[in-house]
Chain A
């Protein structure tokens, strides 16, 4: 027997190293990703708040935030449906889990459509990346960067929910995978709860 075979045999016989913090590696990876994503979002929000605070003529263009309120309710409701899907997965209720995940994905898709509609309204008012009819040019860049980054997360999250649901239904994924996508979905919902006051409510026309 070669030395390589002996070495491999020794490795396979050795006990597996426990994952750090005694949680599954996939879940740890998702938490580490979320922590890095927190930094990215925080950098965007701090940069936005810096520009806003330093500009005495920062525009306040939002007369009504009804659509934002509807989007927030959709996002919070999708967070709840995702948790119900997770509970169903933990009870090995595949059909129930799939159904609730698809409801979550539908809510994500609806949110995305409303968000794009909101963007179209802003563009029709003349707000671009580097210009707007009201004041500092940085407003458009800051608005589209923060909301666009959130929109990107929600769109990708919606696709991820659909893919994971289909694979769970097909038996390739299990409840642990549902939990991981659920953590990501809750995170992007939480980010939206920060974006609403900072971007919309602080800039309402009074």
Chain B
């Protein structure tokens, strides 16, 4: 069965778009698109990927070519989808699945709600905050405070992203909320120090994916993507820091 050029571009581009949207490194997106297009019968594949979009050109054996551009606006972090697309691309390359099957699975991966809903992820954020306080030698009241602060920060992040807030808004608001909660508990309870609570509260806001992808993109030679992701990480850290500054400043005014 011959697969047309349009079909090849469609499946490879969709795979690349899903991976880019969910936080994959640049070289992984490029290689996945190349492997999938070649598995479908492309003679040569060229691609250019940056964090906000991708270009893809596919050549067939008789010299025809087709170029498409995919703009990626909203980006989230979902490592589960990346692992699934990776798995699918391996199966397609090993000829263990045909084009139609692969395309419908890909559409399903892009649509389905995977991972964990609001409550478990709030709980996970709380665990991150509480355990951070434990590592900082905090007492049990501070551990509980950090748990609550991190949980609240995650809830704020959910609300802001539900309302399509601008990037870096929820990091700023989260840092501010953590500082305010820490200061408030510090005032209310004499045996509790605000430091461990605030540190635990801002821990879920650490831009882990941006940092890791920036490093891995630079290693792979994708300097443009590496720099912009590094900038994203730095701006996120600044937003959190400014949020904490404002929250602490409120505390010190009194």
Bound together: no
* B binding-site residues for A, Cβ under 8 Å: none
* A binding-site residues for B, Cβ under 8 Å: none
